[in-house]
């Protein structure tokens, strides 16, 4: 919390080393935090783009365009009327 990793009982039990690098001053901490947040944002964006493209492919497999012929009745919206139709 607040740039520090909590020391848990399990860490003491397994005698894990306390080699966590501590920031020297506030500006260094802010710079490192900003870098980590940028990296996390870019990873999340890449992951979201992959999911979107995969779902688009799956949707396009099942999507079918309506077969409209000249003379077919269609539902149209009158855009000149304001409010609910």
pLDDT computed for residue 49 by the predictor: 97
Q: Within a 10 A sphere around the Cβ of 46, how many other Cβ atoms?
A: 10
Q: Between the CA atoms of 31, 32, 38 and 42, what dihedral angle is there, to the nearest 10 degrees?
A: 160
pLDDT computed for residue 25 by the predictor: 86
pLDDT computed for residue 41 by the predictor: 95
The answer, yes or no, to whether residue 29 has pLDDT greater than 80, is: yes
Residues 36-62 pLDDT 10s: 999 999 999 999 999 999 999 999 999
- Please state, in angstroms and as integers, the Cα–Cα distance from residue 49 to each residue in 14, 36, 55, following that order: 40, 20, 10
Mean pLDDT of 19-28: 76
Single pTM value for the model: 0.51
Mean pLDDT of 56-76: 90
């Amino acid at each position: 919390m607040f740039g520090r990793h909590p020391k848990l009982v399990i860490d003491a039990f397994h005698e894990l080393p306390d080699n966590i690098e501590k920031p020297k001053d506030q500006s260094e901490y802010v710079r490192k935090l900003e870098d980590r947040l940028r990296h996390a944002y870019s990873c999340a964006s890449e992951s979201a783009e992959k999911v979107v493209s995969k779902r688009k492919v799956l949707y396009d497999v099942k999507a079918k365009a309506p077969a409209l012929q000249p003379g077919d009745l269609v539902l149209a919206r009158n855009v000149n009327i304001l409010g609910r139709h």
